[in-house]
Chains A and B, each alone.
Chain A
Amino acid sequence: MTVTSSNPEILSELDRPNSYIGKVVPRPNLGRLMQGRGLYVSDMELPRMGHVVFLRSPHAHANIRGIDAVAARGVPGVIAIVTGKELSAIITPWVGVLSHLKGLKSAAQHAIAIDRVCWQGEAVAAIVAVSRAVAEDAAELVRVDYEELEAVTDMRTALDPATPVIHPSLGDNLAFERNLDAGEVDAAFAGSDVVVEADFIFGRHTGVTLEPRSVVADWNTAEERLTIYQGTQAPHMVQNIAALHLGLEELQVRVVCKDVGGSFGIKVHIYADEMATYALSKLLRRPIKFVADRVESFNTDIHARDHRCWGRIGVGRDGVITAFEIDDLTGIGPYSMYPRTSAIEANQVVNLVGGPYVTRNYRARARVVFQNKNVMCQYRAVGHPIACSVTEGLVDLAAARIGMDPVEIRRRNLIADNAYPCASPSGLRFELLSHHAAMNKLMTMMNYDALRAEQAELRSKGIHRGIGIASFIEVTNPSAAFYGVGGARISSQDGVAVRLDAQGSVICQTSITEQGQGSESLTAQIVGSVLGVSMERVRVILGDTDNTPYGGGTWASRGAGIGGEAALQAAKILRGNILDVAAAILQSSAAELDIADNAIVNAADGASRMELRELARIVYFRPDTLPPGVQSELMATRHFVPREYPFAFTNGVQASWLEVDTDTGFVKLLRHWVVEDCGTLINPQLVDEQIRGGVVQGFGAALFEKCIYDERGQLTNASMADYLVPMSGEMPDIEVGHVVSPTSETELGAKGAGEAGTAGAAAAVANAVNDALRPFGAVITEIPLTPQLVLTALGRV
Chain B
Amino acid sequence: MIVPLSISLEVNGERVDADVLPRVNLADFLREHLQLTGTHVGCEHGVCGACTVRVNGEIVRSCLMLAVQTHGASVQTIEGLSDSGEIADLQDAFRDRNALQCGFCTPGMLMAAQDLLKQQTEPDREQIREHLSGNYCRCTGYQAIIDAVETTARGRRTA
Do A and B truly interact? yes
| Interface-located stretch among A148-156, A205-213, A331-339, A443-451 | A205-213
> With the chains together, A720 CA to B64 CA distance in Å?
14
From known contacts A26-B96, A30-B100, A30-B103, infer whether A728 and B142 are also in contact, taking CB-CB under 8 Å.
yes
With beta carbons under 8 angstroms apart, the residue of B31, B38, B134, B139 that contacts A37 is: B38
> With the chains together, A42 CA to B77 CA distance in Å?
18
> With the chains together, A463 CA to B39 CA distance in Å?
44
Which residues of A656-710 are within 8 A (CB) of B?
A: 685-686, 689, 692-697
| Residues of chain A lying within 8 A (CB to CB) of residue B146 | 728, 733
Q: Are A260 and B95 in contact (CB under 8 A)?
A: no
Q: Name B101's closest neighbour in chain A (CB-CB).
A: A516
Give the total of A residues in contact with B, Cβ under 8 Å.
55
Q: Name A719's closest neighbour in chain B (CB-CB).
A: B45
From known contacts A27-B98, A43-B37, A516-B103, infer whether A728 and B79 are also in contact, taking CB-CB under 8 Å.
no
Q: Are B98 and A33 in contact (CB under 8 A)?
A: no
Determine whether A725 belongs to the interface, using a CB cutoff of 8 Å to chain B: yes
Determine whether B121 belongs to the interface, using a CB cutoff of 8 Å to chain A: no
Q: Are A693 and B82 in contact (CB under 8 A)?
A: no
| Interface-located stretch among B67-75, B105-113, B151-159 | B105-113
Contact with B along A729-769 (1 / 0, CB 8 A): 11101100000000000000000000001000000000000
Which residues of A198-222 are within 8 A (CB) of B?
A: 207-212
Min C-beta distance of A282 to chain B, whole Å: 26
| Residues of chain B lying within 8 A (CB to CB) of residue A42 | 40-41
From known contacts A211-B40, A733-B143, infer whether A294 and B82 are also in contact, taking CB-CB under 8 Å.
no
| Residues of chain B lying within 8 A (CB to CB) of residue A517 | 101
Q: Are B37 and A721 in contact (CB under 8 A)?
A: no
- Helix, strand, loop or mixed for chain B's interface? loop
From known contacts A210-B104, A517-B101, A689-B140, infer whether A34 and B42 are also in contact, taking CB-CB under 8 Å.
no
> With the chains together, A278 CA to B105 CA distance in Å?
28
Looking at B50, B132, B139, which has the most chain A CB atoms within 10 Å of its CB?
B139
| Residues of chain B lying within 8 A (CB to CB) of residue A697 | 138, 141
Q: Are B100 and A210 in contact (CB under 8 A)?
A: no
Which residues of B83-117 are within 8 A (CB) of A?
A: 91, 94-98, 100-107, 110
With beta carbons under 8 angstroms apart, the residue of A38, A43, A725 that contacts B31 is: A43
Q: Are B138 and A38 in contact (CB under 8 A)?
A: no
From known contacts A259-B103, A261-B104, infer whether A40 and B140 are also in contact, taking CB-CB under 8 Å.
no
Q: Name A37's closest neighbour in chain B (CB-CB).
A: B38
> With the chains together, A34 CA to B145 CA distance in Å?
12
Q: Are B139 and A729 in contact (CB under 8 A)?
A: no
Q: Are A261 and B133 in contact (CB under 8 A)?
A: no
Q: Are A727 and B50 in contact (CB under 8 A)?
A: no
With beta carbons under 8 angstroms apart, the residue of B82, B101, B135, B141 that contacts A36 is: B82
Which residues of A438-474 are within 8 A (CB) of B?
A: none
Q: Are A34 and B31 in contact (CB under 8 A)?
A: no
> With the chains together, A23 CA to B95 CA distance in Å?
15
Determine whether A31 belongs to the interface, using a CB cutoff of 8 Å to chain B: yes
Determine whether A564 belongs to the interface, using a CB cutoff of 8 Å to chain B: no
Determine whether B11 belongs to the interface, using a CB cutoff of 8 Å to chain A: no
From known contacts A693-B139, A728-B146, A731-B142, infer whether A259 and B79 are also in contact, taking CB-CB under 8 Å.
no
Min C-beta distance of B114 to chain A, whole Å: 12
Which residues of B39-77 are within 8 A (CB) of A?
A: 39-45, 47-48, 50, 77
Q: Are A721 and B105 in contact (CB under 8 A)?
A: no
Determine whether A133 belongs to the interface, using a CB cutoff of 8 Å to chain B: yes
Q: Are A294 and B45 in contact (CB under 8 A)?
A: yes
Q: Are A262 and B45 in contact (CB under 8 A)?
A: no
Min C-beta distance of B81 to chain A, whole Å: 9
| Residues of chain B lying within 8 A (CB to CB) of residue A695 | 141
With beta carbons under 8 angstroms apart, the residue of A133, A207, A720, A733 that contacts B43 is: A720
Q: Are A294 and B95 in contact (CB under 8 A)?
A: no
Chain B interface size band reads 35 or more
| Residues of chain B lying within 8 A (CB to CB) of residue A757 | 141
| Residues of chain B lying within 8 A (CB to CB) of residue A727 | 133-136, 142
Min C-beta distance of B26 to chain A, whole Å: 15
Min C-beta distance of B153 to chain A, whole Å: 15
Determine whether A650 belongs to the interface, using a CB cutoff of 8 Å to chain B: no
Min C-beta distance of B150 to chain A, whole Å: 11
Min C-beta distance of B137 to chain A, whole Å: 7
Determine whether A324 belongs to the interface, using a CB cutoff of 8 Å to chain B: no
Determine whether B9 belongs to the interface, using a CB cutoff of 8 Å to chain A: no
| Residues of chain A lying within 8 A (CB to CB) of residue B77 | 36
> With the chains together, A515 CA to B103 CA distance in Å?
9
Determine whether A293 belongs to the interface, using a CB cutoff of 8 Å to chain B: yes
Min C-beta distance of B84 to chain A, whole Å: 11
> With the chains together, A299 CA to B143 CA distance in Å?
30
Q: Are A686 and B141 in contact (CB under 8 A)?
A: no
Q: Name B134's closest neighbour in chain A (CB-CB).
A: A727
Min C-beta distance of B126 to chain A, whole Å: 9
Q: Are A294 and B78 in contact (CB under 8 A)?
A: no
With beta carbons under 8 angstroms apart, the residue of A36, A694, A733 that contacts B36 is: A36
Q: Name A291's closest neighbour in chain B (CB-CB).
A: B41
Contact with A along B4-37 (1 / 0, CB 8 A): 0000000000000000000110000001000011
From known contacts A294-B42, A294-B43, A294-B45, infer whether A728 and B145 are also in contact, taking CB-CB under 8 Å.
yes
With beta carbons under 8 angstroms apart, the residue of B96, B102, B142 that contacts A211 is: B102
> With the chains together, A207 CA to B139 CA distance in Å?
11
> With the chains together, A686 CA to B101 CA distance in Å?
9
| Residues of chain B lying within 8 A (CB to CB) of residue A733 | 125, 143, 146
> With the chains together, A664 CA to B32 CA distance in Å?
46
From known contacts A35-B91, A208-B138, A727-B133, infer whether A261 and B145 are also in contact, taking CB-CB under 8 Å.
no
> With the chains together, A515 CA to B110 CA distance in Å?
20
> With the chains together, A675 CA to B68 CA distance in Å?
53
| Residues of chain B lying within 8 A (CB to CB) of residue A259 | 102-104
Q: Are A294 and B102 in contact (CB under 8 A)?
A: no
| Residues of chain A lying within 8 A (CB to CB) of residue B45 | 294, 719-721
| Residues of chain B lying within 8 A (CB to CB) of residue A119 | none
Q: Name A514's closest neighbour in chain B (CB-CB).
A: B102
| Residues of chain A lying within 8 A (CB to CB) of residue B128 | 728
Q: Name A686's closest neighbour in chain B (CB-CB).
A: B98
A to B CB contacts below 8 Å, 13 in the list: A27-B95, A30-B98, A31-B91, A33-B103, A36-B79, A133-B24, A262-B104, A692-B143, A719-B43, A725-B138, A726-B142, A727-B134, A730-B133
7 A-B pairs closest in CB distance: A36-B38, A33-B103, A516-B101, A261-B104, A696-B141, A516-B102, A729-B133
Contacts A27-B98, A516-B139 supplied; 5 other A-B pairs, CB < 8 Å: A40-B40, A262-B101, A264-B138, A720-B48, A727-B135
